[in-house]
Amino acid sequence: MLKILYFAGLREALDRSSEQLAMPSGIGNLGQLHAHLVARGGVWEALGKTKNLRAAVNQEMAAMDAPLKDGDEVAFFPPVTGG
């Protein structure tokens, strides 16, 4: 089972802050999980449209080729600006 967290504008677009997802077969890295989620369509396309999307695996910043395993925590968040 993966724990997936959504932050900032993604949380608002998806109307959820997190979900539990059984590890999909054929998913071995963060990029594949991202594509799997976007393929849900509808509001999930927001994940694919977010420019400079950031991600973390087990609370460590990660590139899209980062490997995933059952039990990981994945977080997706758009870049945040302040001022």
18-21 β-sheet, strand order: 18-21, 2-6, 73-77, 54-57, 60-61
So what's the pLDDT on residue 81? 53
- Number of structural domains (the chain) is 1
Within-domain flag for 34: yes
Residue 10's CATH number: 3.10.20.30
Within-domain flag for 82: no
Within-domain flag for 83: no
pLDDT tens-place string over residues 17-74: 999 999 989 999 999 999 999 999 999 998 998 888 999 999 999 999 999 999 999 9
Q: What's the pTM?
A: 0.91
pLDDT band at 82 (very low <50, low <70, confident <90, very high): low
The whole domain housing 35 covers 2-77
Within-domain flag for 58: yes
Give the residue, 82 or 67, on which the prediction is more confident.
67
